[in-house]
């Protein structure tokens, strides 16, 4: 599975007769100004994607903060971004693809196969000396048809009885229960191993090499599932695992769902991969 594309290859593709659909997924926990960041500077031709409202649905706290969207809603959003049935898609952000990976995962879950991440995000584009644009981009509507289930997911009940390797992609202090800034309980799902998402990246916000990622996940085994706070950065972990040649399932509800269901067990303490 090809997961990433570099800035020079993207530049060439955008200048071709068949350019990819380019998605700017500017989002970060605690920063609600993603659209303004996009309007200030984005890769020419990129369409802004609203993670909170287009890459997630909304429900009760027991559903988690970012439940998967209904497939009809995701399809309508994808069409509004200009995605057609034969489109190539490239997603990026300005935080090492920690947010853009959610779009990468969802579109693949919905059945698209040619979806990649701009390695290093917007910073890699500008570091290459390429221009940016400002304002909004309004694409011609696409006609893509999506169907769910092309990537594996697990429910909370399935996670509670899960016998494979369960990776918690949050920061160590949240995993251990030392701090919890947003969810109602601190700690982690019993049996989970901490594998912080940030460790998938180098100092420039690019994914580590496939060899380095394979070494990082060398003891994960063949049956792997991932969760994070709300199912966003866990998608980044799945992208990193894919680069390493390891398939993994997503627990979409993640800690925000688990910690809002009173009957779920909670563990604390450190265990980092």
Catalytic residues: 228
**Residues with Cβ within 8 Å of residue 217, at least 6 apart in sequence:** 195, 224, 240, 241, 244, 246, 273
- The token duo for 266 is 């909670």
Query: Under DSSP, is residue 167 helix (H, G, I), strand (E, B) or coil?
Result: strand
End-to-end CA distance of the chain: 24
- Contact between residue 239 and residue 104 where contact means Cβ atoms under 8 Å apart: yes
Longest dimension (CA), the chain: 55
Alpha-carbon gap, residue 51 to 138, rounded angstroms: 17
Alpha-helical regions (H) of the chain: 7-14, 34-40, 51-54, 71-80, 100-109, 121-127, 156-160, 172-176, 210-216, 233-243, 254-258
Query: Under DSSP, is residue 197 helix (H, G, I), strand (E, B) or coil?
Result: helix
Alpha-carbon gap, residue 240 to 243, rounded angstroms: 5
Nearest to 165 by CA among 218, 235, 212: 218
**Residues with Cβ within 8 Å of residue 158, at least 6 apart in sequence:** none
């Amino acid at each position: 599975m090809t997961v990433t594309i570099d800035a020079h290859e993207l530049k060439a593709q955008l200048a071709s007769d068949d350019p990819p659909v380019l998605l700017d997924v500017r989002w970060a926990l605690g920063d609600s100004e993603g659209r303004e960041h996009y309007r200030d500077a984005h890769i020419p031709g990129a369409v802004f994607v609203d993670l909170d409202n287009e890459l997630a649905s909304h429900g009760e706290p027991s559903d988690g903060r970012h439940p998967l969207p209904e497939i009809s809603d995701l399809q309508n959003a994808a069409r509004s971004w200009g995605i057609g049935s034969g489109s190539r898609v490239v997603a990026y952000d300005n935080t090492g693809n920690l947010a853009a990976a959610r779009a990468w995962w969802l579109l693949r879950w919905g059945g698209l196969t040619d979806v990649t991440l701009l390695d290093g995000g917007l910073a890699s584009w500008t570091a290459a000396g390429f221009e940016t644009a400002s304002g909004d981009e309004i694409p011609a509507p696409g006609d893509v048809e999506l169907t769910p289930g092309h990537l594996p997911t697990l429910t909370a009940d399935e996670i509670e009885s899960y016998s494979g390797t369960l990776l918690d992609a949050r920061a160590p202090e949240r995993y251990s229960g030392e701090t919890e800034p947003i969810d109602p309980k601190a700690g982690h799902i019993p049996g989970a191993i901490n594998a912080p998402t940030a460790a998938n990246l180098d100092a420039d916000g690019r994914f580590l090499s496939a060899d380095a990622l394979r070494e990082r996940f060398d003891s994960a085994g063949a049956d792997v599932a991932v969760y994070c706070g709300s199912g966003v950065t866990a998608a980044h972990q799945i992208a990193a695992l894919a680069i390493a040649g390891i398939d993994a399932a997503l627990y979409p509800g993640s800690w925000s769902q688990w910690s809002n269901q009173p009957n779920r067990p909670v563990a604390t303490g450190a265990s980092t991969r």
